[in-house]
Chain A
Amino acid sequence: MNGPIGDRGREEVVRLYREFGPAVYRRCMRLLRDREAARDATQEVFVKLLRDGSLLGEGEQALRWIYRVATYHCLNVRRDRLRRERRLERVAGEAETAAPAASAPGERHLAEQLLSQFDPVTQAVALGMLVDGMEGDELAGALGISRRTVHRKLSRFLKIARRLTREEP
Chain B
Amino acid sequence: MTRCLSDLELESVLRDPERGAAHAFSCPRCGERLAELRRLGEEFERWVLPATVEAVAAGAARPARFRFGPWLAPLAAAAVAAGVALIRAGGPPADYLGTKGPALDLVAYSRGADGAQALADGASVPSGAGLRFRVRPARACQLWIVSADAGGQVSRIYPSSGADGADLRGGESVAIPGGATLDGRPGPERFFAACRAGAPLSLEEVERAARAIGPGEERVRATRSLPGLPQGVAQATLLVEKRP
Which residues of A pack against B, CB within 8 Å? 1-3, 5, 10, 13-14, 17-18, 21-23, 25-27, 29-30, 34-36, 38-39, 42-44, 46-47, 50-51, 59-60, 63-64, 66-67, 85, 87-89, 91-92, 94-102, 128, 132-135, 138, 142
Q: Which residues of B contact A36 (CB under 8 A)?
A: 121-122, 221-222, 239
> Which 8 residue pairs spanning A and B have beta carbons closest together?
A99-B115, A47-B59, A22-B41, A43-B52, A92-B118, A134-B6, A101-B114, A25-B44
A64 touches B173 (CB 8 A): no
Chain A residues, Cβ within 8 Å of B63:
2-3
B56 adjacent to A88 (CB under 8 Å)? no
Chain A facing B: main interface SS: helix
Q: Which residues of B contact A98 (CB under 8 A)?
A: 109, 115-118
Residues in A with CB closer than 8 Å to B47 are 35, 39
Q: Which single member of A22, A39, A89 contacts B45 (CB below 8 Å)?
A: A22
Interface centre among A21, A27, A96 (most CB of B within 10 A): A21
13 residue pairs bridging A and B, Cβ less than 8 Å apart: A1-B61, A2-B64, A13-B57, A14-B57, A17-B49, A39-B51, A46-B56, A92-B109, A99-B115, A99-B116, A102-B114, A135-B6, A142-B8
Q: Which residue of chain A has its CB nearest to the CB of B118?
A: A92
Question: How far does the alpha carbon of A91 sit from the alpha carbon of B175 in the complex, in Å?
Answer: 11
Contact B62 A138 (CB under 8 A): no
* In the assembled complex, B156 has its CB within 8 A of some CB on chain A: no
Closest to A129 in B: B6
A62 to B151, CA, bound (A): 41
> Which of A44, A59, A95 is close to B134, meaning CB atoms less than 8 Å apart?
A95
The answer to whether A95 and B4 touch across the interface, beta carbons within 8 angstroms, is: no
A59 to B117 alpha-carbon distance, docked (Å): 45
Report the Cα distance A1→B221, complex, angstroms: 31
What is the minimal beta-carbon distance from A42 to any residue of chain B, in angstroms?
6
Q: Is B53 an interface residue (CB 8 A)?
A: yes
Assuming the contacts A14-B53, A102-B118, asked whether A95 and B107 have C-beta atoms less than 8 A apart, the reply is yes
Q: Is the CB of B173 within 8 A of A51?
A: no
Q: Mark B30-53, 1 if CB is under 8 A from A, else 0.
A: 000000010011011101110111
By a CB distance below 8 angstroms, the chain B residues around A99 are 114-116
Partner of A64, one of B8, B43, B52, B134: B8
Interface contacts (Cβ under 8 Å), in number, total 162
Shortest beta-carbon distance from B3 to chain A in Å: 8
Interface residues of B in 90-142 (CB under 8 A from A): 101, 105, 107, 109, 111, 114-118, 120-122, 132, 134, 136
Interface size on B, residues (CB 8 A): 54
Q: Is B205 an interface residue (CB 8 A)?
A: no
Minimum distance in angstroms from B10 CB to a CB of chain A? 9
B residues near A, CB below 8 A? 3-9, 11-12, 14-16, 37, 40-41, 43-45, 47-49, 51-53, 55-57, 59-64, 101, 105, 107, 109, 111, 114-118, 120-122, 132, 134, 136, 173, 175, 221-222, 239
Distance from A166 Cβ to chain B, minimum over Cβ atoms (Å): 26
A132 pairs with B7, CB closer than 8 A: yes
Residues of chain A contacted by B134 (CB below 8 angstroms): 91-92, 94-95, 97
Q: Do A138 and B8 touch across chains, with their CB atoms under 8 A apart?
A: yes
Please indicate the chain A residues that have their CB under 8 angstroms from the CB of B56 in the complex. 13, 17, 43, 46-47, 50
Tell whether A138 pairs with B9 under 8 Å between CB atoms, given A17-B56, A22-B44: yes
Query: What separation, in Å, do the CA atoms of A95 and B45 have in the docked complex?
Result: 41
B117 touches A102 (CB 8 A): yes
Of B9, B57, B64, the contact of A10 (CB 8 Å cutoff): B57
- Assess whether A50 is in contact with B60, with CB atoms less than 8 Å apart: yes
Task: Give Cα A26–Cα B42 distance, bound, in whole angstroms.
Answer: 10
Q: How far is the CA of A105 from the CA of B105 in the complex (A)?
A: 21
> A63 to B11, alpha carbons, bound, how many Å?
8
Residue of B whose beta carbon sits closest to that of A142: B8
